[in-house]
């Protein structure tokens, strides 16, 4: 059975940082992974948007910006969304699901902004029910705003940064990853 690990917490609680911190460990274990992280764009401590950083290649694309740019015609909260981002994310997730060599899918983040893209929503639903191992972050409002997705997430291990310190969360995540690797990519 595939391992599903989901990390949640308030904005700026360290969800993306936690994912970024485990990437070298995944490489050290020779786990083959694919996915994306969404580091924020900030200037002087003020959030200006989000980038997409595709794994493992490092290709980047802007996800959202507080400035409306040419072609950014969909808005979520204060952010204008890059219309090509949803298609790119969906393409990466579908490739990860279908590529037999990929052992682990990384998703940062499953949140209302990302789920505004129909393509992403469909690909994430397929990812979390797939036979692939998944490590993903999710927005704390997911349970009330997207209950059908949250009901699948509840079947996995949830690391809640509101209840667990960041270092404890990091150690828990590392231990679970070791268990996945020892069992050849499947949890035992």
pLDDT of residue 180: 74
| pLDDT surpassing 60 at residue 76 | yes
Find the mean pLDDT for residues 12-20: 93
| pLDDT surpassing 70 at residue 188 | no
CATH classification (class only), 4-41+52-59+83-182: alpha beta
Rounded to the nearest 5°, which phi and psi values hold at 10? -65, 165
pLDDT in tens, 166-186: 899 999 999 999 877 765 655
Q: Is 102 left (phi over 0), alpha (psi -120 to 50) or beta?
A: beta
Cross-strand bridge partners of residue 50:
40, 64
pLDDT of residue 57: 81
* Residue 167 burial by Cβ neighbours in a 10 Å radius (0-12, 13-18, 19+): exposed
pLDDT of residue 129: 96
pLDDT in tens, 57-75: 889 999 999 999 999 999 9
Q: What percent of the chain has pLDDT over 70?
A: 96
pLDDT in tens, 105-148: 999 999 999 999 999 999 999 999 999 999 999 999 999 999 99
pLDDT of residue 181: 73
Structure confidence at residue 96 as a pLDDT band (50, 70, 90): very high
Rounded to the nearest 5°, which phi and psi values hold at 58? 90, 5
Structure confidence at residue 80 as a pLDDT band (50, 70, 90): very high
| pLDDT surpassing 90 at residue 1 | no
């Amino acid at each position: 059975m595939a391992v599903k690990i989901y990390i949640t917490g308030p904005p700026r609680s360290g969800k993306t940082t936690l994912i970024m911190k485990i990437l070298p460990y995944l490489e050290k274990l020779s786990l083959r992974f694919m996915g994306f992280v969404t580091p924020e764009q900030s200037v002087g401590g003020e959030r200006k948007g989000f980038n997409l950083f595709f794994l493992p290649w490092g290709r980047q694309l802007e996800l959202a910006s507080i400035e409306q740019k040419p072609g950014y015609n969909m808005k979520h909260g204060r952010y204008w969304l890059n219309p090509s981002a949803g298609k790119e994310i969906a393409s990466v997730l579908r490739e990860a699901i279908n590529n037999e060599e990929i052992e682990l899918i990384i998703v940062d983040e499953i949140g209302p902004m990302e789920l505004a893209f129909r393509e992403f929503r469909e690909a994430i639903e397929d990812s979390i029910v797939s036979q692939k191992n998944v490590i993903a972050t999710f927005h704390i409002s997911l349970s009330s705003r997207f209950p059908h997705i949250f009901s699948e997430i509840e079947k996995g291990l949830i690391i809640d940064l509101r209840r667990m310190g960041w270092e404890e969360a990091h150690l828990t995540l590392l231990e679970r990853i070791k268990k996945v690797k020892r069992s050849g990519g499947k949890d035992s």
